[in-house]
Amino acid sequence: MRLRQWTWLRLPGISLIVLVLLLLAGMVMAQEAITVRLDPVGGSEVSGTATLIAAGDRTDGALDIKGLAPGADARATMHAGTCAMPSGSFAALPDLKADATGRATATGSVLFHGTENVALATMADGEHIIAIQAGGQVVACGVIPKLESASAPPALPVTGGAAFSLMAATAAILGFCALSAGLFLRQRSPGAGDRPDKRSNIA
């Protein structure tokens, strides 16, 4: 009897550990990231990287560009297609402003039509690019690598993706905790099998 009581008394602690592990797994999934190498285009000397970080149904971008003219403004955009033949439709990354050495860095969300979030899975299908434009010309470009988990629809923007998976994980966690709590309360309720045997007290 004592062994069974001890086992069920430990259940809340076990449930808490499982909950923490599942939440950590969800955080890792939500923070999936890839790096895009941007190479010079048209004889320019502009190059750099764009890091794309999944954040639920949106994507945060971090740009690090060098080789721009000192003080120049530049624009980063995401297109379907290839560097040689990009689509006309695009999503905007953070704007860039070069310093005195020609380097520019920026962070911010990737937005379609200026307001709509774009999931990382939409871009990371091997069929999208990031282009850097300065002075009205594309000066650097790179293909966004494909994620193994990417399953993006052909159109922008996308809903669901990592956000849906995170919601499903949350629902599973809540269901597990509810089941654990129910079993714990059931075990604490006095049952027929837990009644003391009065005969054992007879001298």
Q: Is residue 203 part of a domain?
A: no
What CATH number does residue 76 fall under?
2.60.40.200
Residue type, 101: T
Structure tokens of 65? 């560009």
Beta-bridge partners for 34: 52
Q: Is residue 122 part of a domain?
A: yes
Q: Is residue 57 part of a domain?
A: yes
pTM score: 0.61
pLDDT score for 130: 98
Q: Which of 44, 37, 38, 63 is nearest to 139 (CA)?
A: 44
pLDDT score for 153: 46
Q: Is residue 112 part of a domain?
A: yes
How many whole angstroms separate alpha carbon 169 and alpha carbon 167?
5
Q: Is residue 141 part of a domain?
A: yes
- Domain holding 111, by residue range, is 33-158
pLDDT tens-place values along the chain, 203 residues long: 554 554 544 555 555 554 544 444 444 444 689 999 999 999 999 999 999 999 989 999 999 999 999 999 999 999 999 999 999 999 999 999 999 999 999 999 999 988 899 999 999 999 999 999 999 999 999 999 998 765 444 445 443 444 444 555 555 555 555 556 555 556 655 554 455 454 444 44
